[in-house]
Structure 1
């Protein structure tokens, strides 16, 4: 197989991950080309490294999810430091549900855990693996390629973390760094202990369209819950006045409920590639509609923001249609 064809899925994931994580979400307008290129070294390299290690070592989605959560803690605690910075981009993102003993706002912690575990890492991997067809669970890079990707991620991460502190004027405390570091290591070790999960058992599952609808509803509940944060980045449902403690309980219930159902379905014989894509598609299209009421973080004109959201939504739909045709074929 020619080199370009062999690494094509890896190149795809390199770009789909940041496009989903930041641009489809509505954080950044697609006109920010330099930002797009730079975020590939963070999201693209991170998602690709996680996927390659998982597939090379015979691990599946349990390990990918554990490492995706580790990635999220790693990024928000050390790179952007949003877990500790109470005035990130001039917004008091941690005031809602702030716990002094932890030094962070728990609703924001819950939101970031879901954002990175599902949308930044898992959804791009699921969609691109579907497009890869018969190579869905095989390595896309050689050992040298994996080392290069990991090194790029490490170098960019260190430079970015230092830059955030120096130019953003914010560094967390040693205790905060240490606590986050212990959690990241624990999640990495957990992923190493996880294989492909429980054996498949006989049983039916809801159809792909029902799973797609389920993912849309679950995704909507997740993003709408953050919109209730009165001090958040986009508090357009703050009038509902949801207490912070209730917000945390609802996040936990949503995570537990969705996780339990998906685990149950995915271990049944009726589970297929179409169901896996349906979950990812529902999550991806949640970000698509969510981008319109969400406020951009990197300043952009209203026209650029609206155009970017429309272009990214159309792009997501087209990508998912290609993936669906791949499954059907």
Structure 2
């Protein structure tokens, strides 16, 4: 029997499709979904903005995913790398982690002053918001959704070779340098050497920790669709909807916590409890890609819902344009979560 070889181009395009999807979805979740952007309601401007935001956010998301999957590691490594890049983005690139008057936002000082850590120039509230926000919204949640939507045989494999990853690394470096240059020109603030060194050290420690973790072969759930290896009798994982509802409730409560030290303590305790719940559940029998999709989708849906109450920065935007933009991105997230859940259910 003679078989016809598959042309190289379709296979290449098949691998590049999820890369392109992640390049777009990451900045959408990081910047557009919350509705704070002053260009809300200006679709052509938002579309053009992706030419810059895709390298700044999407390239990082792809590189994080490639680093974890290429080395055979799973979600703990993805999360640690995402947290490390959150430190880089907010501590070294735009330096918002240290800036006392970032972008002349009127309410910036109110958010920052109540939880300022003496001698560091860092607000505990803003640090938690920035770092957790980058880890989840900018990187981890988009990675989970795109992997769920990718062809099943590609979800566990690298999508790019060394040339592709090198190109994305260069694009990210260029975008990051542009942000830094703009910051130095317009903000009138430069973080102290000790702050920059501290941020770099924390990011480096997180990267080291990420790659010190065992590979997937050592056990545990790594990618959407995997089944947890059970050591002993740990019972079954809760239903995907129960887990998703728990994350949705936690993220909703988190929005209403006050920007004070008690609020920061409550937020840290809430996130720690959620992390323990997810880690424990993910190591039980029956954990699946449906769980991963709903866990990733829950914080995005909360942000989308509250975007309708967010006032965009900059010049006033007409209500029709604002709510139209909010509605579009909300429907986009709902559609992607529903599609990813359907694919994970069919694949189970």
Give the alignment's TM-score, normalised by structure 2: 0.86
Aligned match of 1:163: 182
The 10-residue stretch of structure 1 (182-191 or 286-295) with the greater mean CA deviation from structure 2 = 286-295
Residues 299, 327 of structure 1: CA spacing in aligned structure 2 closer, same or farther, 3 A cutoff?
farther
Aligned match of 1:326: 343
Shift of 1:111: 1.1
Larger Rg: 2
> Distance between the aligned counterparts of 1:298 and 1:55, measured in 2?
40
Aligned match of 1:145: 164
Q: Is the 8 A contact 1:79 1:157 kept in 2?
A: yes
Aligned match of 1:261: 277
Q: Is the 8 A contact 1:211 1:279 kept in 2?
A: yes
Aligned match of 1:110: 128
> Distance between the aligned counterparts of 2:322 and 2:102, measured in 1?
20
Q: What pairs up with 1:273-312 in 2 under 5 angstroms? A: 273-303=289-319, 304-312=321-329
1:9 equivalent among 11, 18, 42: 18
Aligned match of 2:249: 217
Aligned-residue Cα RMSD (Å) equals 1.6
1:316 equivalent among 313, 321, 333: 333
> Distance between the aligned counterparts of 1:49 and 1:272, measured in 2?
24
Shift of 1:323: 1.2
Aligned match of 2:34: 25
Q: Is the 8 A contact 2:240 2:294 kept in 1?
A: yes
1:186 equivalent among 205, 208, 233: 205
- 1:291 alignment partner, SS class: helix
> Distance between the aligned counterparts of 1:127 and 1:300, measured in 2?
33
Instruction: Say if 2:89 is the partner of 1:75.
Output: yes
Q: Show CA shifts across 1:285-304 (max 9, x none).
A: 11110211223235450422
Instruction: Say if 2:143 is the partner of 1:125.
Output: yes
Q: Is the 8 A contact 2:235 2:285 kept in 1?
A: yes
> Distance between the aligned counterparts of 1:113 and 1:154, measured in 2?
20
Give the alignment's TM-score, normalised by structure 1: 0.91
The 10-residue stretch of structure 1 (39-48 or 202-211) with the greater mean CA deviation from structure 2 = 202-211
1:66 equivalent among 77, 80, 93: 80
2:261 equivalent among 217, 242, 245: 245
Aligned match of 2:225: none
Q: Is the 8 A contact 1:52 1:141 kept in 2?
A: yes
> Distance between the aligned counterparts of 1:219 and 1:145, measured in 2?
35
Give ranges in structure 1 of 5+ residues lacking alignment.
Answer: 230-243
- 1:295 alignment partner, SS class: coil
Residues 316, 80 of structure 1: CA spacing in aligned structure 2 closer, same or farther, 3 A cutoff?
same
> Distance between the aligned counterparts of 1:170 and 1:7, measured in 2?
40
Q: Is the 8 A contact 1:215 1:279 kept in 2?
A: yes
> Distance between the aligned counterparts of 1:198 and 1:218, measured in 2?
28
Give ranges in structure 2 of 5+ residues lacking alignment.
Answer: 1-7, 221-228
Q: Show CA shifts across 1:22-75 (max 9, x none).
A: 111222225232323211111101101100111001011001100111111111
- 2:308 alignment partner, SS class: coil
